[in-house]
Amino acid sequence: MSTQDGPLTETMTTPSTELIVAMEDAAAAARTPMWRRLLKDPQFVVTAGILIFIFMLGLLTPLLTQHGPNEADLSMVNAPVGTPGYPLGADETGRDIWTRLLHSINTAAISALIGAGVALVVGVIAGLVGGYFGKVTRAVTEWTFNLVMTFPGILLLIILMRVTGGDYRFTMLIFGVLLSPGIYRIVRNLVVGVKNELYVDAARVSGLGNLRILSRHVLFVVRGPIIIAGAFMAGSAIAVQSGLAFLGVGSIQIPSFGAMISSGFRNLYVAPTQFLWPSLMLGLITASLVLLGNALRDTLEGSKPKPVKVGRGQKVVERAETQQRDSTRLVEISDLGIAYRGPSGRAREVVSGVSLTIDRGQVVGLVGESGSGKTQTAFATLGVLPAEAIITRGSILFDGEELVGRTDKQMRALRGTAIAYIPQEPMSNLDPSYRVGAQLVEGVRAALGVSRKEARARVLALLERCGIADPVRTFDSYPHEISGGMAQRVLIAGAVASRPRLLIADEPSTALDVAVQAEILDLLRDLQAELDMAILLVTHNFGVVADICDRIVVMKKGVIVEAGATLDVFRNPHDDYTKMLLGAILDESTVRTDPAVVAPAEGAVR
């Protein structure tokens, strides 16, 4: 059925409702160029400002000081703060502390430049090469960097003290090489990730050579993390150089924070302030670099994910008044509203006043496209909405009892016993570290409280009931050792173990091959009949609905547009949206009749 193709203006939604809110905010933020976002972040501005100021001081040293850094005036030994010509005093050999402080800034700056610079250059190039090119290259780079990384750097630097001759620049160069594996890892992982992206494949098909792909598509992704790593590495280099200087590694002619702290430490009782100045300066520089790195990370990589708070109940704005309802219904949802607070702070309603009922033993299909809110409704019934979700209004009655506003502990009593769930994607819903059987046993024991032996027996029986050929073998397998279809059967077995009154199935067959899909639907139908279970089937596939559901409820953008018996809705849809959806289903019989196009049509655009 051909429809008119005009410019698309409606906003189609993205796969997961939870992402919609975040993505819309992100789209708005996408327009602001990076540097402008950085300038808006006070943490960035302050720390960058401090660092620039300090390093300017270092650059302007000749103008700001009157003595040489190693100029020792024995008459000025341990001069106190405020002595004319020696604003911060003098150290134990009569050298001006202010001058040495400024020179130390330059030493630190050079250390940071060399150390971080070498690490970045070596790490980035190696990461690009190792990540992008073939297996052999990658194996070589891997091995080399593993080698470099396994040695305690400082020890090596000390051992090589004789060779470097104490020149801190050479030492920092070696240190940079020792730091490079960290950068290499980051870059290599990014490159490998990008390399497998479809848009790189598309670029190759478009004829781009490797170099262009690297520079255009890959380098861009790497940019942000490199800058961030650079900030942290600079801090690291300065800290290490100070540490080495403190130990006395290197020429004593070079003024550095480490050397100053060392002599200050020795003079702690005589003149405590000698220790204070270099410590403050070093601390200030390192702290600023770390905070700068954090600020960069927040801006360039987006906000960090927040803690998840697993055990919390769902947030409810106001508890619904518990009215006495018709208790013949198993589930009664009334005027349910669910909203999400996006990163910008605004609350967006994704479910707006949904009401539906499910009778005992009835199979209800909840149909809609992505973003319709169907999965959200299902999750709310289970009490497993994400922590960011807020139930703004409405009530969910299960067998006459109100679910909205229950604590997680109360909900847990129902979950796995009276209300069960099967997810969409079987593989990602099994814990990869545990054997399949163990996970099921854990669930059965939590729900029914039986002994381990008893639980195992039940699970094996269930696996067999759910069509798994060799239950014992599957019981002892890890999730990555079984197929998608088997995994889904396993999950179904786990769900029906306690003979639940309500099974919530979230697109249970979408991720499976069509033949397996049919088998899973058969299984569900059989189980439903055997256990007299009600099923809330969330799906976007009308074929599935036609196969198994007694009633259909159609949702669009958070509201219900139509509900009724399956046959009625299919044959006599009332709502325009429903009609549109049914019309968009591809015909079972229409085949392409126009011939292959040999020559372009008149007036074609080429």
Distance CA 90, CA 96 (A): 5
Rounded least distance, CB 587 to other proteins, Å: 7
Burial 169-192 (b: 16+ CB within 10 A, else e): bbbbbbbbbbbbbbbbbbbbebbe
Closest alpha carbon to 179 in 260, 114, 242:
114
Rounded least distance, CB 135 to other proteins, Å: 9
Closest alpha carbon to 565 in 411, 314, 364:
364
Rounded least distance, CB 163 to other proteins, Å: 4
Rounded least distance, CB 535 to other proteins, Å: 15
Distance CA 253, CA 246 (A): 13
What 3-state DSSP class applies to 311? Answer: coil
Q: 């109940």: which residue's tokens?
A: 313
Rounded least distance, CB 100 to other proteins, Å: 18
Q: Structure tokens of 102? A: 């400024």
DSSP label at residue 303: P
Q: Structure tokens of 347? A: 């609350």
Of the pair 76, 493, the CB lying nearest other proteins is at 493
Of the pair 197, 532, the CB lying nearest other proteins is at 197
Of the pair 76, 548, the CB lying nearest other proteins is at 548
Of the pair 63, 601, the CB lying nearest other proteins is at 601
CB atoms within 10 A of CB 452: 12
Of the pair 204, 574, the CB lying nearest other proteins is at 204
Rounded least distance, CB 276 to other proteins, Å: 11
Closest alpha carbon to 176 in 110, 132, 223:
110
Of the pair 87, 243, the CB lying nearest other proteins is at 243
Of the pair 84, 305, the CB lying nearest other proteins is at 305
Rounded least distance, CB 511 to other proteins, Å: 10
Burial 423-433 (b: 16+ CB within 10 A, else e): bbbbbebbeee
Of the pair 155, 469, the CB lying nearest other proteins is at 155
CB atoms within 10 A of CB 591: 5
Q: Structure tokens of 591? A: 């085949």
Q: Structure tokens of 224? A: 């942000």
Cα distances (angstroms) measured from residue 448 to each of 412, 418, 553: 12, 11, 33
Using N-to-C axis directions, what is the helix angle for 436-448 and 452-465, rounded to 10°? 110
Rounded least distance, CB 371 to other proteins, Å: 9
